[in-house]
Structures are given as C-alpha cells and as structure tokens.
Amino acid sequence: MFDFSHPFFRPLWLRVAITAICLGWGLLEIAIGGPGWAVVFLGLGAICAYKLLIAYEPPADGK
C-alpha cells in the first residue's frame, strides 16, 4: 500500500515527525471523544513507528 523505502522518507526527522503527528492526532481524538478516529490514527501511528523507525531500510540507490 505504501512504499516505506521511498527516498522521501530518508531523513530521520521526517520519519519521526510523521509518526508523532499520527500518534498525536490519535491522542487528540481520544481527548475530544472520537474513539473511532482515535483507533484509526493510533493504528496508523503504530504502523508508521514500526515501518519508519524500527524496520526502516534506506533505498539501495546509495544517495
């Protein structure tokens, strides 16, 4: 579905920011009483944390 090894995701700060935004939005949804959207964004944040921070492999193009 998503290409997590795309060169766009090479900078660490960008991968951390994307993950933090997703998790933060999920926490915001919990705070304002939107449990459905909270599950969606917390799940997306968990996927991003795993794929972009834990299992990330940079593209093989060498740049």
**Does the residue 10 lie in any domain?**
no
**Does the residue 13 lie in any domain?**
no
Would you state the pLDDT for residue 20? 97
Which pTM was predicted? 0.86
Q: Give the domain extent around 32.
A: 19-54
Would you state the pLDDT for residue 62? 56
Please state the domain count of the chain.
1
- Could you report the average pLDDT of every consecutive run of 10 residues in the chain (63 residues)? 84 95 97 96 96 88 60
∠ CA 56-13-45, nearest 5°, is 60
